[in-house]
Structure 1
Amino acid sequence: MAFSYLFKGFFNALKQPKITQREIKIKSLASELNLVVISDVHLGEFLKKEFLQGIVAQINSLNYDALLIVGDMFDLRSDELGDILQPLEAIKKPIFFVTGNHEYYRGDASGLIAAMQKAGVRVLQNESVEFEGLNLMGVHDLSGFRFGYMQPDLSAALAQADPDKPKILLAHQPKYVVDFVRDEVDLCICGHTHAGQIFPWTLLVLLSQKYLYGLYNDGLKQIYVSSGVGFWGPPIRVFADAEIALLKLRKA
């Protein structure tokens, strides 16, 4: 039974992510928007350029307005990337990115940000940009507090936002939303949890993050937590399928 459990988990980790679609109601939305969300790609020793090519092919099969990458893109330093980001050239829609904790671990977060920018990605660094009639905001990861640089600052992003337009926030860890975000944001989009990745470790993730996977209502705001497309540690996923999420924003 243990072998069957591990084999199934290994198969789940390496198969194509499922595509999930969610309709989310947003007040004062100017027009309908379809946003593709991926997180936790973890490009590195196991997941390489070919993996990203497959993800991009799936994304391009969808009808969408922008791609949002919510942290943990890399388990590499910037000088190890080579042409690993080349598949992003096939994305013809705007791409937005925020850092995750793994961008900090090799002491090269600024280099990885520069690599994403060179690939044509808009990196949101404690800021807000106007996109199709809404405020698209992004903050650095909580790990910035631990490492002492590139710390998240929601107030800086809010200061740039148009108060009359909906606010969508990208923040890698759900814990950041729980601890720092009140009702000033309409929708928070997170990753980090891998939906637990391997049951029963799911329970430990819940103790740390509160929100594990899917769509939640918290006060006046909504929170969507992606299960991610890649994996970290052992190439195993059990009861925690990888996903590419298509969030369909509609007027409330």
Structure 2
Amino acid sequence: MRIRRQIGIALLALIALAITMTIVHTIVISPKSYRIHHVEVTNKAIPQQFQNFKIAYLSDIHLRSQKDITRLEEIVKDLNEQNYEMVLFGGDLYEGKVFEDKKVTQILNSIHSSYGKFAVLGEEDNSNSSQVVQILTEAGFETLNNEARTIYYNEAKIRLIGYNTEASTALEKSDLYTISFSHYPDQFAFISDTSQYHLAGHSGGGFIYLPLLGATTKLNHAKTYNHGSYTKNNATLYVSNGLSIMADHSYKFLAKNEIVILTLNKS
């Protein structure tokens, strides 16, 4: 009886410890930590010349304080230590008013890229769109507004499309392999007809993500697609968890903040 009781007490202690560690990680560690997440993109339509072409994708930075700006400096430093050819920003640079615009411009301008830096705006950017676009432009980003760009590399080319938050129809389909990105994941419902690969953010990965149950928080425009990879019409969507929490959603569990780095491979 005494042994059983000791075993029971030990199990309860382990369970309590596990619960405590989970709570601490969800509330204290996970909101600020982030990962470099490598994703392989394989498709027969990718030109052979683009083999191992890498694209870094950042989204949902949500600057609200000076501490966030210091953290952004660390994120950009880590990003610049990675190997990639192009950078995409998926929107929501600030959450609320724009501040320290010159400092933020300087930080974003320090991001290295050999084949361009492109951006779309998120819903948080729209209320200060002129200021945010100016920051991005001065930092070397081209903000795409339902526009396509041809990317040339090793005498081959692919197409890149950036959609704004108001987009409800896709651009015409092209013979070129097409990568697109937008802030809202649910736009994939119509974008999947014309893009082979699509990137989006906004959802925070559901903030609290539970196995089997999925995202506990489904924001507007991320009701259908909110965490990880999806396929539709032979197209693939990857929904980034973003790089920050939000004022109204300050915890994260199994939805780690991330920089996504795509590597293109011809199948």
Instruction: String of CA shifts for 1:151-202, please: whole Å, max 9, x gaps.
Output: 32644xx25x7x2211111111111112x32421111101111111134692
Amino acid of the residue matched to residue 125 of structure 1? Answer: N
2:199 is aligned to 189
Which residue, 181, 198, 204 being the options, matches 1:170?
Answer: 181
| Structure 2 counterpart SS, 1:116 | helix
CA contact (8 A) 2:215 2:227 kept: no
How far residue 79 of structure 1 moved from its aligned partner, in angstroms, is 5.7
1:95 is aligned to 117
Alpha-carbon distance in 2 for matches of 1:173, 1:73: 14
1:152-163 aligned at under 5 Å gives the runs 152=167, 154-155=169-170, 158-159=171-172, 163=174
CA contact (8 A) 2:108 2:136 kept: no
How far residue 49 of structure 1 moved from its aligned partner, in angstroms, is 2.0
2:79 is aligned to 59
CA contact (8 A) 1:77 1:112 kept: no
| Structure 2 counterpart SS, 1:205 | coil
Which residue, 24, 27, 32 being the options, matches 2:44?
Answer: 27
1:222 is aligned to 236
| Structure 2 counterpart SS, 1:114 | helix
Amino acid of the residue matched to residue 43 of structure 2? Answer: I
Which residue, 232, 241, 249 being the options, matches 2:246?
Answer: 232
CA contact (8 A) 1:139 1:153 kept: no
Which of 1 and 2 has greater Rg?
2
| Structure 2 counterpart SS, 1:14 | coil
Instruction: String of CA shifts for 1:100-131, please: whole Å, max 9, x gaps.
Output: 11112xx2223211221122111111100111
1:1-252 aligned at under 5 Å gives the runs 5-9=22-26, 10-15=28-33, 17-30=34-47, 31-32=50-51, 33-45=53-65, 48-78=68-98, 81-93=101-113, 94-104=116-126, 107-132=127-152, 133-141=157-165, 151-152=166-167, 154-155=169-170, 158-159=171-172, 163-178=174-189, 180-199=190-209, 202-205=215-218, 208-233=222-247, 234-252=249-267
Instruction: String of CA shifts for 1:82-112, please: whole Å, max 9, x gaps.
Output: 41231122222021111111112xx222321
Amino acid of the residue matched to residue 129 of structure 1? Answer: R
CA contact (8 A) 1:48 1:84 kept: no
Alpha-carbon distance in 1 for matches of 2:61, 2:136: 13
How far residue 78 of structure 1 moved from its aligned partner, in angstroms, is 4.0
Q: TM-score, normalised by structure 1?
A: 0.84
CA contact (8 A) 1:187 1:222 kept: yes
- Gapped runs of 5+ residues in structure 2? 1-15
1:144 is aligned to none
Instruction: String of CA shifts for 1:7-49, please: whole Å, max 9, x gaps.
Output: 222211122x111111111332221211111111111237532
- Gapped runs of 5+ residues in structure 1? 142-150
Amino acid of the residue matched to residue 121 of structure 2? Answer: T
| Structure 1 counterpart SS, 2:24 | helix
Identity of aligned residues (%): 24
How far residue 227 of structure 1 moved from its aligned partner, in angstroms, is 0.8
Alpha-carbon distance in 2 for matches of 1:101, 1:236: 21
Structure 1's consecutive aligned runs of 4 or more residues displaced over 3 angstroms after TM superposition are 1-6, 76-80
Between the two proteins, the alignment pairs up a number of residues equal to: 235
How far residue 229 of structure 1 moved from its aligned partner, in angstroms, is 1.1
In structure 2, the CA distance between the partners of 1:89 and 1:111, relative to structure 1 (3 Å rule), is closer
Instruction: String of CA shifts for 1:41-84, please: whole Å, max 9, x gaps.
Output: 11123753211111111111211011111111211434653412
Aligned CA RMSD, in angstroms, stands at 2.4
